[in-house]
Structure formats: structure tokens, C-alpha cells
Amino acid sequence: MAHMGAAHFAQEVAWALAEVFEKVLFLTTLTPDGRDPAAAALRMLGKGKRRVSLPPGGEIRSYPWREMVRLVQAKVDPDEIRRDAVFHWAMDGFDRFVAREIAGRKTAQKLELVYGYETMCGQTFRAAKEQGVKTVLDLPSPEHDYVENLLWREYEKFPVLLTPARRRFRELQAERTAKRHEEFRRADLVVANSSLTARTWAAAGLDGKKIATVPLAGPEPDPRGAKGGTRGKGPLRLVWAGTFSVRKGGHLLAEAWRGWKNRGDTELEVYGSVSLPEGVRVRDLEGVKWHGPVARERVLEAFRQADLLVFPTLCDGFGLVVAEALSQGLPVLTTRQAGAADLITEGENGFLVEAGSVEALRGKLEEIRGQRERLREMRPACLKTAGRNSQSRYQEILTEQIRAVLR
């Protein structure tokens, strides 16, 4: 299997594959667990957050060089168009690396299956098909045209959001959609992370019969979350986690927050970077604390202390932050355009509002501002939901699908 970033959810897939196969070869970019000189340098320096946890017998091979260039460029160059170009250059290089690894294993051992991720496996799947190897495509996002067209309508509603980079991405949309569709057609099995993701790809005219919906797993429920939330007479504490961006609905929350009368009884804490155009003023919002990117453990602790997660996304294949919040007993306010909305039961463990509506968001915020006790009573239901959405259940569903496609 191959994933550029060695993300936690990709490593969960590796453990699931180990239930079916004798050996899993994990291909990635930059990790101290690899065998390349860059990995050795990371180990020597004690650096490297991208650690890889594999089942016994698992093997890691890495292709770090283009990713190293990308990471450096992302830190020193603020131009979004150039950063996007370098990202795709790095991704194409990784795709070719994986394809070479597949082609070079003809006589070494029998390769049974290749598991890849959207946008990263065009050449990979071509090489696999040349050898008659089964292919699995993992879709972390709704269909590309669906997302881009939705966002473009948002830019038309709020012209201040439209940047030169967004215009450039609009020009590249058809080309990038075609690449994704070709990956889909070469896959024997397609794994969608939510019913929302599955519906959008099938609606684009692609073969919905080979899509299996396997919702992402969240962390194990933390019993400390049952007694979390604010106490006493202080402000109701809302929390945001993740990039404060257009796609996540950051501009909508800013509009909703600016347009209601906050009497000092509600505060919002934002954990994550701000990715909105300069014309969208957010730093001056009253009652909002901006923490910037922080470690995951600190975010989970903030969830235990908060009263409600606010996640007004315009479109998310899943929205793992929802599952993370529930695991800490935190009720969630999100939209039906989040795949993880499948986990939310209105009034039981959270609330659902119309995506893209400032009025609906503001109205729901107004409704819950005086309901601290109601939110606290939801916390056991949140933990119960998290318990059903476990890693073991995720692996069970995925391995069933893998065995089926091998048969």
C-alpha cells in the first residue's frame, strides 16, 4: 500500500491488510522508519513526526527527496499557486516511485494487491494492471467536480474569497478531475469513507457497484469526557479544530459570529491555522481566542473541557474531527455536507444545520447559548457513539471487502 504522508488512517489500513496477507509493504515519503539516507539522518537527529506503526512482518520503503523539497518550499514561499505546483510535482514523483517498485517485484515474490489513495496512484494502478494485480482505491474526499463546483458557487456569493490561486485551480479542474476518474476506472474496489463520498462519485457517472462505504474510525472513547465541559457561571465554551478555511466554513462562522449579539456568555477557541484571504477579517472577532496549530493531545484535552464543537463544513468526505470530538464526550454542531454527519443524531449527540447558510448557523448558535446543561447531558451519548465507531469495526468491514475482491 502507498500513502505520501503515512497518516494515521493509512496505518490503520495496513493493520487491516495484515489480517488478509502474510506481508504488507508500506510505501511512503519522509519517515525516520525508512531505510534511506534521509530516514537515517532523521533518526540521528531525533527528528521526524511521521512515524509508521506496522504489523509484524511489515516493511517500509520511502521516497523522501521530492517531499523534502516540498516541505522546505511550503515554509519559505507564501505563493499558493507555486506551492500547489510543487505539491503535484512531489505527488507525481511518488506515484512513479510506487509504479517502479511494483514493476521490480515480478520475480521477487507474488504481489496480490495494491492499495492506493486518490490522486496518488494513476501510474501505480497502470503498473499493477500490467501484472494482473488487484487494485483498491481509497477515496478520502467527495468527487472532485462536486467539490470544486460547490466551492465556486461560494466564491460567487462571497467575491472577497476569490484569489488568483482559486482562479488557477478552476482552470486545472477538468484535467484533475479526469485523472481522478481514470484512477477510479482502474480500481477493482473503491473504498469511500462515508455515504456522502460514495454518493457523489456514483452521481458523476462512475460505477457505484464497486464502491464500498467504510466509515473512518475515531479514537477510543475517553471516559473522562463524560464529566467534561464547563461548570459554574462562566461563558459557554465552543471550540473549532483544524484549518480555518473556506471549505471548512470558517468564513461562515466568522459572519455568523459577527452578526449576533454576544453578551459575553459564549466564547470560541480556535485550534488550527487560518487559511482565509486577507480581506476576510477574523482576528478582531469579539470573544474568539486564536491558538494556532497545536499537538493532537492538546486538542483532545480542549475537547474534554469544551461544551460544543463547531464544524460548519461546506463539504468533507468524513471530517475526522467529529469522531475525535465524540470520543471525548463533546457534542458536535456540523452540516449534512460532512460525511461524519452519519454519526450525529439531532438533539442526542449534536446538531445538524444547512451547509453554506450563515442564518442557519447563527440561529443554532443562538439556540444553544443558554443550554449548558443540555449539552452536558449529551456527553454519555457522544461516548457511546464513539464506541460503536471503533478501529476494530473499521478493520472488520475493510477486510471483508478486501477478501471479497480477491475472490
Torsion of CA 69, 74, 76, 77, to 10 degrees: 110
Same domain, 262 and 185: no
Residue 1 lies in a domain: no
- Does 355 score more than 60 pLDDT? yes
Same domain, 285 and 201: no
Residue 22 lies in a domain: yes
Q: How many angstroms separate the Cα of 231 from the Cα of each of 74, 89, 141, 289?
A: 42, 51, 38, 19
Look up the domain containing 190 and give its range.
8-217+391-406
Residue 148 lies in a domain: yes
- Give the sign of the dihedral formed by CA 144, CA 146, CA 152, CA 158: negative
Q: Which one is predicted more confidently, 137 or 42? A: 137
Which residue in 312, 364, 320 sits closest to 339, CA to CA?
A: 320
- Does 24 score more than 80 pLDDT? yes
What tens digit of pLDDT does each residue of 146-201 get? 999 999 999 999 999 999 999 999 999 999 999 999 999 999 999 999 999 999 99
Same domain, 53 and 64: yes
Residue 313 to residue 252: CA distance in whole angstroms: 9
Residue 267, strand partner residues? 237
Same domain, 29 and 125: yes
Same domain, 173 and 313: no
* CB proximity list for 9: less than 8 A, separation 6 or greater: 140, 216, 217, 320
Residue 76 to residue 393: CA distance in whole angstroms: 42
Residue 360 lies in a domain: yes
Residue 159 lies in a domain: yes
3-state secondary structure of 376: helix
Residue 335 to residue 240: CA distance in whole angstroms: 14
What pLDDT sits at residue 109?
A: 66
Same domain, 197 and 235: no
Residue 362 lies in a domain: yes
What pLDDT sits at residue 105?
A: 66
What pLDDT sits at residue 337?
A: 96
What tens digit of pLDDT does each residue of 232-248 get? 778 999 999 999 999 99
Same domain, 285 and 398: no
Mean pLDDT of the chain: 92
Q: What is the mean pLDDT of residues 338-359?
A: 96
Residue 2 lies in a domain: no
Same domain, 89 and 116: yes
3-state secondary structure of 193: coil
Which residue in 181, 200, 92 sits closest to 143, CA to CA?
A: 200
Same domain, 191 and 104: yes
Residue 3 lies in a domain: no
* CB proximity list for 315: less than 8 A, separation 6 or greater: 142, 146, 147, 150, 151, 247, 337, 355
Same domain, 138 and 203: yes
CATH number of the domain residue 121 falls in:
3.40.50
- Determine contact, residues 6/12, Cβ cutoff 8 Å: no
Residue 207 to residue 275: CA distance in whole angstroms: 35
Percentage of the chain surpassing pLDDT 90? 78
Instruction: Place 107 in a pLDDT band, splitting at 50, 70 and 90.
Output: very low
Taking phi over 0 as left and psi of -120 to 50 as alpha, with beta for the rest, 190 belongs to: beta
Q: Which one is predicted more confidently, 260 or 365? A: 365
What tens digit of pLDDT does each residue of 262-306 get? 667 899 999 999 999 877 888 888 899 999 999 989 999 999 999
Same domain, 120 and 88: yes
Same domain, 238 and 349: yes
What pLDDT sits at residue 264?
A: 79
- Determine contact, residues 329/304, Cβ cutoff 8 Å: yes
Question: What's the number of domains the chain is made of?
Answer: 2
Instruction: Place 40 in a pLDDT band, splitting at 50, 70 and 90.
Output: confident
CATH number of the domain residue 359 falls in:
3.40.50.2000
- Determine contact, residues 36/66, Cβ cutoff 8 Å: no
- Does 308 score more than 90 pLDDT? yes
Q: What is the mean pLDDT of residues 198-219?
A: 95
What tens digit of pLDDT does each residue of 79-90 get? 999 999 999 999
Residue 98 to residue 235: CA distance in whole angstroms: 52
What pLDDT sits at residue 280?
A: 81
Percentage of the chain surpassing pLDDT 70? 98
* CB proximity list for 301: less than 8 A, separation 6 or greater: none
